[in-house]
Amino acid sequence: MQKNQSLQVTPFSLDIQSIRANARKHVEEGAQTASYRGDVDEIIALLNHSLATELVCVLRYKRHYFTASGIHAQSIANEFNIHAQEELAHADLIAERIVQLGGEPDFSPDTLTKRSHADYAACLDLDEMIKENLVAERIAIDAYRALIRHIGDDDPTTKRMLEHILAQEEEHADELADWIKAS
């Protein structure tokens, strides 16, 4: 058996001269510096699909908020409205990140449902509303997980933002699943 040899650790150091020089190059690119490793165009396109998904979810939740009826509808409708507001906050985060990356957020209503991962389900039955919203949340969860894996460490800011959004989508899904079990 060999004895463990001590590992030499190289001390961390920054090449501040290079960092300063790179900061002056392409200064108009804002937060996107030479050390950014992601494929900017691809990330922007993927984020625009996520933006469309969030906006479709806002619209679906708002419709369900206003059209829910029945004995237990008011409390659930109020939660639909809260979810709509949280989905809108997700859309704002995504749009802001797209701009930070030098892109343009695509809010075009003409292509919104085509770019969205989730469907817009215009149902009137309360149980069906809950189910359709849960399906949409589950789609968002899997899409965000795949996107987070794809981005990896190439864009830590976008990754952290998506992880935050994913956590809220999972909370929404848990709540909606609880409602289905209670009915």
Q: Residue 87: give its domain's CATH number.
A: 1.20.1260.10
| pLDDT for the residue numbered 18 | 73
Contact 151, 159 (CB under 8 A): yes
Q: How far apart are alpha carbons 136 and 173 in whole angstroms?
A: 9
CB 103 within 8 Å of CB 44: yes
Residue 112 lies in a domain: yes
Residue 96 lies in a domain: yes
pLDDT at 183: 74
In a domain, 2, yes or no: no
| pLDDT, position 8 | 76
Report how far residue 41's alpha carbon sits from residue 63's, in angstroms, rounded to the nearest whole number.
Answer: 33
* Pair 77, 137: CB distance under 8 Å: no
Confidence (pLDDT) at 145: 98
pTM here is 0.85
Q: What's the confidence (pLDDT) of residue 31?
A: 66
Residue 126, domain member (yes or no): yes
Q: Is there a contact between 76 and 170 (Cβ–Cβ < 8 Å)?
A: no
Tell me the C-alpha to C-alpha distance, in Å, between residue 156 and each of 37, 82, 94, 100: 10, 28, 14, 13
User: Considering the domain boundaries, does residue 1 fall inside one?
Assistant: no
**Is 6 among the domain residues?**
no
Query: Tell me, what's the pLDDT at 113?
Result: 94
- Residue 78 in domain: yes
Which residues touch 27 (CB under 8 Å, ≥6 apart)? none
pLDDT at 177: 96
φ and ψ of 14, to 5 deg = -105, 140
pLDDT averaged per 10 residues, the chain (length 183): 65 76 70 75 97 98 95 92 98 97 96 94 92 96 97 95 98 95 82
- Domain tally, the chain: 1
pLDDT for 129: 96
3-state class of 93 per DSSP? helix
Asked if residues 153 and 159 have their Cβ atoms less than 8 Å apart, the reply is yes
pLDDT computed for residue 21 by the predictor: 74
Do the domain assignments include residue 32? Answer: no
Full domain range(s) for residue 66 = 38-182
Report the 10 Å Cβ neighbour count for 145: 15
